[in-house]
Structure formats: structure tokens, C-alpha cells
Structure 1
Amino acid sequence: MKLGFLYAGQGAQHPGMGADLYEKYPAFRAALDGADFDVKTVSFTDPDGVLNETEYTQPCMVAFAVGLTDVLAEKGIVPAAAAGLSLGEYSALYAAGVLDGADAVKMVSFRGKAMTDAAKGVESAMMAVLGADRETVSAACKAASDLGVAEPCNFNCPGQIVIGGEKAAVEKAASIAKENGAKRCMPLKVSGPFHTRLLKPAGDALAEYFKTVTFKEPKIPVLHNCLGGEKAASDTIPALLERQVQSSVYMEDCIRAMAALGVDAMVEIGPGKALSGFVKKTLPGFPVFAVETAEDVEKLPELLKEVAFK
């Protein structure tokens, strides 16, 4: 049975995530204990209230993903392809053997700090636009550009596109999108204009950091955010990650590309179920399972058997 693993992005984190997994599975404990700061305390109880700060969120999420990937591997549940939403792409690269776990956690810790630094001094906003197509949203952003940067930054699934940039421009773009048929525009609680050209300083910082890292060849296909599919032979993973932080995330396209590879089901490595929702809206009826807790881990083999025997 071929499985596609999908790794959650920023926004799914919550205090207590992974506590039951840490208690039950040594492989999960090893991933968290091997991080270069106290991921366990921040993830489980967040006593200083920092879990939602980008530079803490990212390593906590990737440590969670690394640990859960290792737990599933011990049960013989491994991916035939992988993708992730934004920072989740680093977890997908771990699943593909491109990065080791400790390197992936350190890398996104650096990435989170670089993104935070790049966003300083920018009055930014991000807005989820619901019920509009890509052309409508892109045109609205272009029409609002007289007030600053407004760009589509996440193509999540049909009818759900996120725009980001400078606050006044984003608000104008959202208003124009609604005038042209969008059903709803929802402000998102974020700390920067992520996946827009305003994050170029973060991309530049990552490019320098990547010179110190060894990237191995992927053992399975990875669907890259900024491409919406697999990389070409001429692409390098460091260059794609540099580009990813400052350009649109084509998650809907990655989901479609994963299905086209012939996977029988997709498994979302949590916390959260956002990506499962994207799959259901993009590919109605396609088998997808969210795994976040020890109970989910124990149930997954039987759920997969049901799919295999259909």
C-alpha cells in the first residue's frame, strides 16, 4: 500500500501536543529530547507563553513530526511520497531522508528567527479569502498594489486562498475580492507577511545558513510548496527552500500531485486536521487520516487495512 505523508504547518500547534506520545513511545521521546532547547516543556505546558511565537513554534512542530514519523516507521507505516505546509516541508524532507531529525529542528529554529526578524517594522496582515478562484484573488491583489504589497501566499484548496502583505493593501485586496464574489474574508492571527516578497531577507539569511548543511538525495518524491510538485533535475533543495519562504505555497497542487503519484491514502502528521480538510475539499472521497495522538497511532493500521481491502 502506497501512502503519502502530509506534514502540518504553523497554526496547528497547541499546548499539550505530543504529551501522550512522549509518554508511550521511546522514538518520540528521542526526537524531542534531542532538540537544542526544551521542546518538551514548550510543547506540553508552554509556561512562558511562547509556543505561538514563530521561532518556538517551528522547532516544536518539526520535532513533533520527526518523532511521530519515527513511531509510525517502527510500525511499518512509511511514506511513498511526502509534502508539508510551509514549515511542514522540512518535516517532509526528513521523511524523505534529505535531512536528519536534529538538523531539521535546528534549521527551522533558524528559519523562525529569520522570519521574525524580516517581519519587524512591517505593519502586516494575512487574510483567508473563501469562495473565490485564483484569478479573482490574484486580480484583487494586483488592484490593491497601490497601497503596498498584497500577494496570494497560500493556495490551500479550492475556495480557500490566503493573501498576505502590508496591512492596508491586504485589506483593500480582501474588499475587492468580496466585491467580485468572494464569500468571506477572515483575518488570520499571524506575526508577519509570510510567503510574500517581504520575507526576502529571511530567504537571504536561509541561503547563507544552507551553505553549512548537507542535503542528501531524497529517497522518495517530495512535493515542494513553491512548485506544487516535484523538483526538476536542475532545481536544488536549498534554492527551493530559500524561494519557499518568500513566495506562494501551492498546497492544493501538491495534494493533486501526490494523488497522481498513485498513493492509496494520505496520512496527515499533526497536530491538527487542517491538511485533511484540504484533501477532502481538493479530492472528495480520497482516503485521508489525521494522526496526532497515541490513540490515532494505534488505530491507524486498522484504518489503512480497510482502505486496502476496499
Structure 2
Amino acid sequence: VGMGKDLIENYPEAKKLFSKANMALDKEGIDIAKLCFEGPEEELKNTANAQPAILTISTILFELLNKHNIRPSIVAGHSLGEYSALVAGSAIEFEGAVKLVRKRGEYMQNATPLGIGSMLAIIGLKSSEIRELCKRVSDYGIIEIANYNSPTQIVVSGEIKPLDKLSELAKEKGARKVIPLKVSAPFHSSLMELAKDNLARYLEKVEIYNPRMPVICNVTADYVRNKEEVRSALIEQMNHPVLWVDSIMKINSQGINCFIEVGPGKVLRGLIKQIIPEAEVFNVFDSDSLKDVVEKMGEVL
């Protein structure tokens, strides 16, 4: 709670985008600005509210970087972040994206009954070892790798029984940490089939354009070159893993060694440093960090 408040106080662009987000969700009776600034925390954490809130803050920060002539050569986003990347790449209009991620949140939340599934982050084992462990516990139910976050951080998604069993086995195998994630459903797994179908139907009504800037998508860790590929990537992302390591490696292979994480949180910065230790990684999450990055980028550029 409180995210974005300093942006609205300092930048008219922020006020403008918050009011656009509110207008987009007007029919739903959602006031994104009020939720961001005042909460309640529980309501803001609800994924159907959190998704448009994060997209709005990320887009504001991207616009402000643009204003300071800091423009990316390539954009990518992790899971929900892919939608902000597509707004940045002009493949989806901001208001349309706000409505879209609101729906995405609802579909993800409702795809499985509460308490059926969840997610675990495993730190300190290789992906091949985790794949092997998933096979070993698959008799207990559905369990799959959901995010390849870094060479040593993998997130698995699935039903509660196999997750509990995997947690035990991963610790025995020498995982440094096994962290149950505070999520209400098993995202990026085959248990999201219903959410995928619903999203595909909703996307038929959403105007999507050919990206005007290179965008790397989660599902293939490759470019989405036209509106058909964008639509397909968003649908497939629902029940497929986020290939974050491969996405960052792909960007790096294009000669890029400087990254800016845009939006609330600092998780991706740490992951990128694990993937490419020599990379320069900055993050912009409020007006102070924005000023800081504008200064530092002045030195880099």
C-alpha cells in the first residue's frame, strides 16, 4: 500500500495514467489509485486488483524514463510483466491492457478451487535435478516447472500433495531453500487450462497491434514479431513455464548488457545478475530510484 503515491505527487503523467486506469475499470467499480495509495492491503493483494495496479505503475515509470530519453532496444517482462512490455512496445493500448490483466487475474484466480494447488520456489538445485524430482512425485498429482528464474532458482507449480513431497525431496537433495509462495493458485501449469480458454476467448475482443519495438516473450524466449504471435504468446503463457533465463540470455546475445527493471519490486534485478553476473542492472520503482537511474544512465550513455 502506498505504491505510486510519490509518482502522482511529482509527475502529471502519473496522474493522467492513473485516471485512464480508473476509467478503464469504471464499470467494475474499481478505483486503482485509491487501492494503491490507501489499500486495504488484502484487497490490493487480490490478483485481479494487483495485476492492473502493477501494470499501471510499470507503465508510468516506463513513460517517465522515455521522457528522460532513456529508451530500450528490447523489452521483456516476467509473467504479468509481459503485458507491461507489450504496452511499452505499442502492441496493446494501455487502457485495453488494464482491462485485460484484470480479466487475467480473475481467470487465474478462478481456474482451480481454492486450496487445490500452489507454487514453490526451490533455490540451489539445477533445473535438470528438479525435473527429475517432479517425475518422482508425479504419482501424487500434477506438478510442473512454472518459472526458470535463474540458474539456481526454479519455481514449481501443482497440486498440494506432490508439492509437499517435492519439498521434502528437494531438501534431502541439498536445496539451499524451499520457499512456499504466497499465491492462491498453481500458475503457469496445466491446471490453468480453464483460465487459458477464458483468456483466449476474451483476447478475441482485444485490439492487438504488431509490436513497434522488439519484444521477447516468456513462452519461447524469442521475439514476437506480429499481432498473431503476441496473441498466441499470451494465451500459451497461461499454462506454460516462464523461460526467464533463456529470455535474458537471448537479449544478452543481441549485444545488450545493460538492463532496467521497471515497476514495483526488485526481484528481477537479482535474477538477471545471477543469469549474467557482469550485466549492469538498474531498477526503477519510485521517483527517487527514477532520479537515481536517470543520473546513472547519463554516465553509462
Shorter-chain TM-score range: over 0.9
Distance, in Å, in 2 between the alignment partners of 1:219 and 1:306 is 27
Q: Residue 27 in 1 paired to residue 13 in 2? A: yes
Alpha-carbon deviations, 1:147-181, whole Å to 9, x = none? 11111101101110011110111111222233333
Distance, in Å, in 1 between the alignment partners of 2:207 and 2:92 is 8
What amino acid is the match of 1:26? Answer: P
- Mapping of 1:195-214 within 5 angstroms? 195-214=188-207
- Mapping of 1:142-181 within 5 angstroms? 142-181=135-174
Distance, in Å, in 2 between the alignment partners of 1:262 and 1:203 is 34
Distance, in Å, in 2 between the alignment partners of 1:232 and 1:94 is 15
Q: Which has the higher contact order (CA 8 A, sep 6+)?
A: 1
- Shift >4 Å, 4+ stretches: 232-235
Alpha-carbon deviations, 1:262-294, whole Å to 9, x = none? 224111012111000011111112111010111
Is the CA contact 1:126–1:162 (under 8 Å) kept in the aligned structure 2?
yes
Distance, in Å, in 2 between the alignment partners of 1:180 and 1:299 is 42
C-alpha displacement of 1:301: 2.2
State the partner residue of 1:9: none
* Match among 226, 230, 235 for residue 237 of structure 1: 230
State the partner residue of 2:268: 275
Distance, in Å, in 2 between the alignment partners of 1:209 and 1:125 is 25
Distance, in Å, in 2 between the alignment partners of 1:198 and 1:227 is 20
Is the CA contact 1:30–1:67 (under 8 Å) kept in the aligned structure 2?
no
Unaligned runs of 5+ in 1: 1-14
**Secondary structure of the equivalent of 2:45?**
coil
- Mapping of 1:1-310 within 5 angstroms? 15-35=1-21, 36=25, 37-47=30-40, 49-231=42-224, 236-308=229-301
**Secondary structure of the equivalent of 2:111?**
helix
What amino acid is the match of 2:153? Answer: Q
Query: Quick one: percent identity of the two aligned structures?
Result: 35
C-alpha displacement of 1:67: 1.4
What amino acid is the match of 1:165? Answer: G
What amino acid is the match of 2:6? Answer: D
Alpha-carbon deviations, 1:233-280, whole Å to 9, x = none? 796211111110111011111111111222241110121110000111
What amino acid is the match of 1:131? Answer: G
Alpha-carbon deviations, 1:110-164, whole Å to 9, x = none? 0000111102245212111110111111111111111111111011011100111
Alpha-carbon deviations, 1:62-97, whole Å to 9, x = none? 011111111211111121111111110000000111
Is the CA contact 1:79–1:95 (under 8 Å) kept in the aligned structure 2?
no
Distance, in Å, in 2 between the alignment partners of 1:174 and 1:285 is 32
Is the CA contact 2:114–2:184 (under 8 Å) kept in the aligned structure 1?
no
Is the CA contact 2:221–2:247 (under 8 Å) kept in the aligned structure 1?
yes
Is the CA contact 1:150–1:170 (under 8 Å) kept in the aligned structure 2?
yes
Alpha-carbon deviations, 1:164-209, whole Å to 9, x = none? 1101111112222333332221111111001111011111001001
With normalisation by structure 1, the TM-score equals 0.91
What amino acid is the match of 1:50? Answer: E
Is the CA contact 1:265–1:286 (under 8 Å) kept in the aligned structure 2?
yes
Q: CA RMSD in A?
A: 1.6
Unaligned runs of 5+ in 2: none
Matched positions, count: 294
Go from structure 1 to structure 2 and tell me whether the alpha carbon gap of 1:234 and 1:76 turns closer, same or farther (over 3 Å shift).
closer
C-alpha displacement of 1:48: 6.5
**Secondary structure of the equivalent of 1:49?**
helix
Distance, in Å, in 1 between the alignment partners of 2:298 and 2:254 is 20
